[in-house]
Amino acid sequence: MRRRFAVAVIGLVMVAALTATPKKKQKEPLALISGTVFQSSGFLLRGAKVVAVSQQESKIKIEDQTGPRGEFALRVPVAKGPYLVTAEAKGFEGQQKTAEVYESEKTTVTFQLKPKP
């Protein structure tokens, strides 16, 4: 009787170990680069392309497009900053700014694009 009980307990432990969910790979910390793109006249600029490229690792490139209110938001890896952020839109001159990022924090960047001559 004891032997059957011991075998049953060992079997349950083995099944529990095999079906346990594996630990998830820990994700690297992210930061947020967000902001607004305006026209030089002060009006919001919808549909502008915003790109952030890590200055330490050029393979890291995050893109977004501004919404109806000219706003954008980019989630970027923290260890790969600072980032060079570029905003451009059809009919406007592009603009670049540098954004320093810190773990779990938000960095705000505002652009004011001039019309092309």
Asked if the model's pLDDT at residue 76 lies above 60, the reply is yes
DSSP 8-state symbol, 91: T
- Mean pLDDT in the chain? 85
Domain ranges of the chain: 30-113
Region 66-94: mean pLDDT is: 93
Whole-model pTM: value is: 0.74
**Check: CATH 2.60.40.1120 for 30-113?**
yes
The CA-atom distances, in angstroms, between 33 and each of 56, 67, 73, 91 are 16, 15, 6, 24
Per-residue pLDDT of 1-13, as tens digits, reads 666 655 555 656 6
Within a 13 Å sphere around the CA of 109, how many CA atoms are in the beta-carbon half? 25
CA atoms 42, 47, 52, 53: torsion sign: negative
Q: Note the pLDDT of residue 104.
A: 78
DSSP string of 13-65? HHHHHHHSPPPPPPPPPEEEEEEEEEETTS-B-TT-EEEEEESS-TT-EEEEE
Per-residue pLDDT of 22-49, as tens digits, reads 555 667 788 999 999 999 999 999 999 9
Work out the pLDDT band at 78, boundaries 50, 70, 90: confident
